Amino acid sequence: MDKLIYKKESIDGVKQQVQDLIKIVNTLEAEFPGRHFTLDGHLVGSIGEVMAAYYYGIELYTASAVAHDGEIEGKKVQIKISQQDNIVINHEPEYLIVLYLNRSGDIYEVYNGPGKEPWETASKPDSHNNRHMLVNKLMKMDQVVTESDRIPAIHEIEKMKLEYKNKKKK
């Protein structure tokens, strides 16, 4: 196999793009105090949390709270967002809202309802106590959630459809 040789121009370009991302992170953190948009994994999660706060009026807890990300009208809510085919949780939530972020930047609702059934049907815990749930399975579960079991949206959000999923790059 040929050894890859990166050119200085390419590396300088990456450095500039990372600096641009850091500026965006700083702007987001100033706009949403208490949320961490670090590039090491918090970025997408914090985007999901502030989007759910907007769409559903959820009052967010301090970042990295255990089991739930916020609450509304006494209902504790775990918020998850994905750009892939699954989500990961490690505590049974009272309520679960799962959002999907596609590559165009659009946000869709995958699941909105009680957390018990998704938790019980998720994969067995891995070595880090994480359970995985497929987006497609959550979409099917969402179809049978009654309106009275949902967190009502205060701003319109479109339901996820299979054709909105990000295509895997080859």
Return d(Cα 29, Cα 2) in angstroms, integer.
42
110 falls within a domain: yes
Residue 75 lies in a domain: yes
Q: Is residue 28 assigned to a domain? A: no
- Region 109-116 average pLDDT: 98
Is the pLDDT at 1 greater than 60? The verdict is no
In a domain, 137, yes or no: yes
Residue 70 lies in a domain: yes
What's the CA gap between 99 and 168, in Å, rounded? 18
Radius of gyration of the chain measured on its C-alpha atoms = 18
Tell me the pLDDT band of 169, cut-offs 50, 70 and 90: low
Q: Does any domain span residue 20?
A: no
Q: At 70, is the secondary structure helix, strand, or coil?
A: strand
DSSP 111-163: EEEESHHHHHHSPPP-TTS-EEEEHHHHHHHHTT--GGGSPPPSS--PBP-GG
Q: Is the pLDDT of residue 4 over 70?
A: no
pLDDT bracket for residue 6 (50, 70, 90): low
**CA separation for the pair 7, 19 (Å, rounded):** 19
Residue at 157 is within a domain: yes
pLDDT at 154: 94
DSSP classification of residue 94: S
Domain count, the chain: 1
**pLDDT for 140-163, tens place per residue?**
999 999 999 999 999 999 999 999
- Evaluate if pTM is beyond 0.85: no
Structural domain of 94: 44-161
pLDDT one-digit tens code per residue, 10-55: 767 878 888 898 899 899 999 999 888 877 767 888 889 999 999 9
- Domain assignment present for 5: no
